[in-house]
Amino acid sequence: MSPKITGELLRQLRQAMKNCKYYCEPIQAYIVPSGDAHQSEYIAPCDCRREYICGFNGSAGTAIVTEQHAALWTDGRYFLQASQQMDNNWTLMKMGLKETPSQEDWLISVLPENSKVGVDPWIIAADQWKNMSNALASAGHSLVAVQENLIDAVWPDRPERPSTRLRSLGLEYTGLSWQEKITALRGKMAERKITWFVATALDEVAWLFNLRGADIEYNPVFFVYAVVGMNTIRLFVDLKRLSDPELRAHLQLDSPGKPEHSIQTFPYEAVYTELQAICAALGPKDKVWICDKASCALTQVIPKPHRSPIPYTPLCLAKAVKNATEIQGMKAAHIKDAVALCELFSWLEKEIPKGNVTEISAADKAEEFRSQQKNFVGLSFPTISSVGPNGAIIHYRPLPETNRTLTVNEVYLIDSGAQYIDGTTDVTRTVHFGTPSAFEKECFTYVLKGHIAVSAAVFPNGTKGHLLDSFARAALWDSGLDYLHGTGHGVGCFLNVHEGPCGISYKTFADEPLEAGMIVSDEPGYYEDGSFGIRLENVVLVVPAKPKYNYRNRGSLTFEPLTLVPIQVKMMDTQLLTQKERNWVNEYHRTCLEVVGAELERQGRMEALEWLKRETQPIV
C-alpha cells in the first residue's frame, strides 16, 4: 500500500486557510472530521474529505492541519493501516495510548496566541463543537465556523452527491404505516411539551417514512432531513427523486389524507432556511427537539432558550424495538443467510484442498450464494475474509496485495452480512479445514463459552447491555486473555447493520436498557497477533424469560439467536465445556438442522444439506 502524496494538497489547503474569501480573517488550524452532515458511520464518496486530504480511508479518524503541522487521530483498529496510507507530511496520533495528546491539547501546544481554529459546522456534531470550543477558549483560542468547506475548495474532481432511486416498503415489511409512526412521534412530543422535532440521522428518517435508498454503500439510506411539527411535516430531499408515481402515492403527495399527515417537500439544501423561518416564528414557550449529535450548523439555528437537545431521539428508540412484522422479516432473512453460508462452507470444504481459494474469492463466493436468495439487495458491510495472521487484524478487508490462499493448515475467519428487503444480517464463523492446534482449540472454546454466557443470560428488565459485556469475557479473563472491541451492537431491519441506542460494550455506559424486541449482536473474540483470529457472532433477539421467581414484579429477559449457522465442533475442546454449555450447543445445532435443513431441502440444495447434517451432530 503506497501512501498518498499530500505536499501540494496541503499547500493549497494552507492557502485557503489564509484566504478571506472563506473566512473574514486567516485561520491558524483547520479540522477535518470523518463524517457527513448526518454524522453517518459509513459515508458517500463526496463526503470522504478526511481521506482526500491525508490518504487514510478507515471509518474513524480526524485530521487537523495547522500552518506547520498535519496530524491524524485514529483508534487501535487502524494504527497499522493509517501508517501505511499517509506520507511523511502527517503525524499519526494513536488514540487510547497514554502518551497521545487529545486534539485540544495538541492544538493548544502548537498554536500561536489568540489563534482561530476553523471547522465546517455541517460536519461537526453539536456536542463535539461544544467540548472543543470550551477547551480552546480556556487557552485563549477560538473555534470558528467556516461555512464553505475548505477541502471541497481544493478538491477539483469531487464526486457528485448520490441521488439513487427510492424504494417504498409496504406494511408486509414494516408492520406500521408512516402515518402511525408520525402519530406515535407526536405522542412523545406532546408528553414532553415539544413543538417541533428535527430529524437528521438518515436511518431514522428512512425508518419513519418506510423508505429506503442506496446513496451510501451497504446502508439502504438516502440524503434527507425531516422537520415534524404537531400538525405539519416537512421533508427535505432532492425533489427529482419524488417523480415516481408509486412513491408519490406512498407519501400521499397528490392525494393527502388527513391534513396533519400532509407532507410538504423542499429541496435537500433548503433545511437551513426553513428551520430559520420556523424558529423565527416560535412562541415564548415553544421547544424544539434535536439530537445532540446533529450538526452544529443546524443545532445553532435553534435559539438556546427553545433548544432541547437529547442523546437519543424518540425515533432512534422506537426503531430499535422491532415489531412482530419486523421480527418475522429478520427471522426469514437469517434463514436465507444460513442457507447461503451452508452452501459456502460445503463448497470451501471441497475446494480448499485444491489450493485455489483465496480470501477474496471466498468472500465473492459468499456474496454469490447470498445473491441467489429471495429479496437480496446487497451486502451489509464489506466482508471480512481472513486466514491465519490476517485474522488477527480485527477490521481486515482483503486487498490484492494482502490476499492469502486458504489452506488446511490455518484458521479461517469470515464476518459477513447482507441486506434483504425483509431484514439485515451479520454473522461471524471461525473454522479450520484441517486439524486445529491445541492452543487454537483452547482459545476458540473460551470465546464460545463467552458467546454462550451472553446468549443464555437471564437478566432483569431495565438492564443495560454494557453490564453483560463481562459475561462474554469471563472465560477469557480466567486464563489471562481478552479482546479489545465491544461484544455487541444494535442491528437495523433492512437498515444500518450498526445502530443505537443499545449494544453490549464496556466502551459506553450511555446505552439504553435492553427491552424485548431489540436486536443485537453477540460477538466475543480472541486475536493472537501474527498467528490467528477467532470471533463467533450471532445476531440475537431480546425476548421475555420466565425464571422461577419474579423479584418485585420486574420481569426478566433473555436472548433468542436469529443466526442459525453451525458452530464448528472440530474447533471446540469439548472437555472445557460444562454440561449446560454442551446442552446449549446441541440445542442450537438441533434448531439449525430443523429450521435451515427444511429450507435447504425446499430449495433443493442437497449437498449443503448433507454438510449441515454432518456439522450438527450432537456432542456426546
Q: CA-CA distance, 372 to 424, in Å (whole number)?
A: 16
DSSP 71-114: EEEE-GGGHHHHHHHB-TT-EEEETTSTTPPPHHHHHHHHSPTT
Q: pLDDT tens for residues 36-51? A: 999 998 999 999 999 9
The set of cell numbers assigned to 223 is 440524503
Residue range 299-310: mean pLDDT, rounded: 96
Q: CA-CA distance, 588 to 591, in Å (whole number)?
A: 5
Residue 257 has pLDDT above 90, yes or no: no
Residue with cell 457527513: 36
Rounded (5°) CA angle 155-159-162? 145
Q: pLDDT tens for residues 181-221? A: 999 999 999 999 999 999 999 999 999 999 999 999 999 99
Residue 256 has pLDDT above 80, yes or no: no
Give the pLDDT score at 395.
84
111, 66 in Cβ contact below 8 A?
A: yes
Q: CA-CA distance, 308 to 87, in Å (whole number)?
A: 43
Give the pLDDT score at 228.
98
Q: pLDDT tens for residues 323-348? A: 999 999 999 999 999 999 999 999 99
82, 93 in Cβ contact below 8 A?
A: no
Q: Which of 498, 497, 500 is nearest to 513 (CA)?
A: 500
Give the pLDDT score at 394.
86
For 129-141, letters b (16+ CB in 10 Å) and e give: bbebbebbeeeeb
Q: Measured over all CA atoms, what is the biggest interatomic distance in the chain, rounded to whole angstroms?
A: 76
483, 474 in Cβ contact below 8 A?
A: no
The set of cell numbers assigned to 458 is 437471564
Residue 77 has pLDDT above 80, yes or no: no
Residue 64 has pLDDT above 80, yes or no: yes
What single-letter amino acid sits at 11?
R
Q: What does the DSSP 8-state code read for residue 172?
A: H
Q: pLDDT tens for residues 260-277? A: 999 999 999 999 999 999
What single-letter amino acid sits at 95?
M
The set of cell numbers assigned to 328 is 418475522
| Secondary structure of 292-333 as H, E, C letters | CCCEHHHHCCCCHHHEEEECCCHHHHHHHECCHHHHHHHHHH
Residue with cell 480448499: 352
Residue range 91-101: mean pLDDT, rounded: 95
Predicted TM-score (pTM) of the model is 0.95
